Amino acid sequence: MIIVFITVVFFALALVGLPLLYALLLTTFATLWWYGLSHPLETILLTFIGGVEPFVLIAVPLFIVGGELISRGGVGKRIVAFAHTLFGFLPGGLGVVTVFACLLFGGVSGSAIAGSAAIGSVMIPAMIKRGYSPGFAAALVAVAGTLAVIIPPSIPLLVFGFVSGASVRDLFLAGIVPGILFGIGLMVVCVRYGLATGCDRGGERASPREVWIAFKAAFPALLMPVIILGGIWFGVFTPTEAAAVAVVYGLVISMFYYRDIGWRELPALVLKAFVTSAVVMVVIGATAALAWVITVEQVPMQVTQWVKEVTDSRWMFLLLANVVMLLLGVFIEPLPALILTAPLFVPLATAYGVDLVHLGLIMTCNLAIGLYTPPVGGTLFVAAKLAQAGIAKVSYALIPMFLVTLVVLLAITYITALPMGLVWLMR
């Protein structure tokens, strides 16, 4: 029953507000002491250090730096302008533009909060001015911003690849179709909203010339995902190397081409990105220490056996994975949630014949939903603040978007070919 002990102790410590890093370490120490396990603390701390050391994880801070560089300046605005020339004419057009801009932005950045902030700061005022309710505008940006962690490059998918051993290249491929499906679902909600409320009946189509001008202005930013993802998929470089390329490309574009960022801003930007990533990395390391104890004590094997006894159906297992991740995502940020549960879910997925790439994608999509599920959540707060809307109003506007999201979630869970089609094609 070690797993029950660990779960209870960890949640008790985390819920009273002990930072996750220390809650994890203390849970590890408490487990050793309570069960009289004789692993020396030095061994545990060596796994802690070993957990932050791997070369592949260097991609995490580097992708954060790259995303910061490209999103700090006017890239969000240029992407929005381009999306507007394409979709501005539709009913609910500004909403559709918001969703499409978030999809494009997701190809540049792997962070949901950055996505909501960059697109939301431009689109939320524009939508409110047009007559959209602040609640709807905030809800839409809170949901659409999370497309950034589903569309590659994605920091949660990268970290899942590390903890599970699944190929990051495949995970990045698997995110594309689900990301687009979530986007289309949201666009339908927007069109319906535009027609039903009459606030945005659409406008005139942009001329091909206007589309071309907007495209040219956004082109260097749009080229970034092509270089990074193309490079990874065609084996030119590893994800870690791609992250370094993203930093250098972002630096060149935003300092010398767009001239949005100057030398003086670089130290703060680098520091912020590395501290942000360190906060995540120490939790990864501490989880590695706890996971080591769990594995040495053969807990994943026991859990797999129990779940196998309850049900033999792959269908039920996938449902269970969805429910657990949805609930967990309401309380915990995606990255720690992924790292905590991966050691348990990975052997289960293998036992039920679920591809680890598929599992990682489902887990990430569920945890992304947690980012905007009331009462608390990263993108929910960013968007509500930008719209100056109360959480209750935003929650009400979220209902149709939740329904659409759940439909897409079920589809990508049970129609394996949706996320995995591209992976099979490129394997």
Partner 1 sequence: MRRLLPPAPPEPAPLRLLGELVDWAIVALGAALVVIVFVNVVMHQLDLDIAWTTEFGEFVMVWTTFLGGAAAARRRGHMAITELRDHLKRGAGRALRLAIELTVAAVLALLVWYGASIVQASWGNILTVLDWPMAWQYLALPVGAAIALVYVLRDVVLLARGGDLVEAPEDVS
Does position 243 bind partner 1 by CB under 8 A? yes
CB of 376 to partner 1, least distance (A): 6
Q: Which of 8, 12, 37, 54 binds partner 1 (CB under 8 A)?
A: 54
Least Å distance, CB 410 to partner 1, is 25
Applying CB under 8 A, which part among 10-18, 215-223, 344-352, 354-362 lies near partner 1?
Answer: 10-18
| Residue of the chain from 6, 99, 113, 386 that contacts partner 1 (CB under 8 A) | 113
Q: Please answer whether residues 66 and 251 qualify as being in contact, where contact means their C-beta atoms are separated by less than 8 angstroms.
A: no
Choose which of 33, 208, 264, 425 interacts with partner 1 (CB under 8 A). 264
Piece of the chain touching partner 1 by CB under 8 A; list 46-54, 94-102, 186-194, 209-217: 46-54
250 touching partner 1, by CB under 8 A: no
* 29 within 8 A of 13, measured Cβ to Cβ: no
In this structure, are residues 240 and 56 in contact, taking their beta carbons and an 8 Å threshold?
yes
Q: What span, in angstroms and rounded, lies between the C-alpha atoms of 302 and 309?
A: 11
Site for partner 1, residues 375 to 404, rule: CB under 8 A: 376, 378, 382
Of the pair 73, 250, the CB lying nearest partner 1 is at 250
Q: Is residue 334 close enough to count as binding partner 1 by CB under 8 A?
A: yes
Sign of the Cα pseudo-torsion (40, 46, 51, 56, in order)? negative
Name the one range near partner 1 by CB under 8 A: 170-178, 240-248, 296-304, 358-366: 240-248
Amino acid found at 38: S
Q: Which residues contact 268 (CB under 8 A, 6 or more apart)?
A: none
Q: Are 329 and 373 in contact (CB under 8 A)?
A: yes
Shortest approach of partner 1 to residue 367 CB, angstroms? Answer: 10
274 is a contact residue toward partner 1 (CB under 8 A): yes
| Subset of residues 142 to 181 that bind partner 1, contact rule: CB under 8 A | 149, 155
339 touches partner 1 (CB under 8 A):
no
**What count of other Cβ atoms lies within 10 Å of the Cβ of residue 424?**
13
CB-based contacts of 381, cutoff 8 Å, min separation 6: none
C-alpha to C-alpha distance for 422 and 226, rounded to whole angstroms: 16
* Eight-state DSSP code of residue 255: I
Q: List helix spans (H) across 154-203.
A: 155-164, 168-174, 176-197
Contacts with partner 1 by CB under 8 A: the residue count is 71
Residue 264 one-letter amino acid: R
> Any contact of residue 12 with partner 1 (CB under 8 A)?
no
Q: Is 211 in the site for partner 1 (CB under 8 A)?
A: no
Q: Considering only residues 6, 31, 47, 65, which one is a binding residue for partner 1 as defined by CB under 8 A?
A: 65
Q: Is 5 exposed, middle or buried (0-12, 13-18, 19+ CB in 10 A)?
A: middle
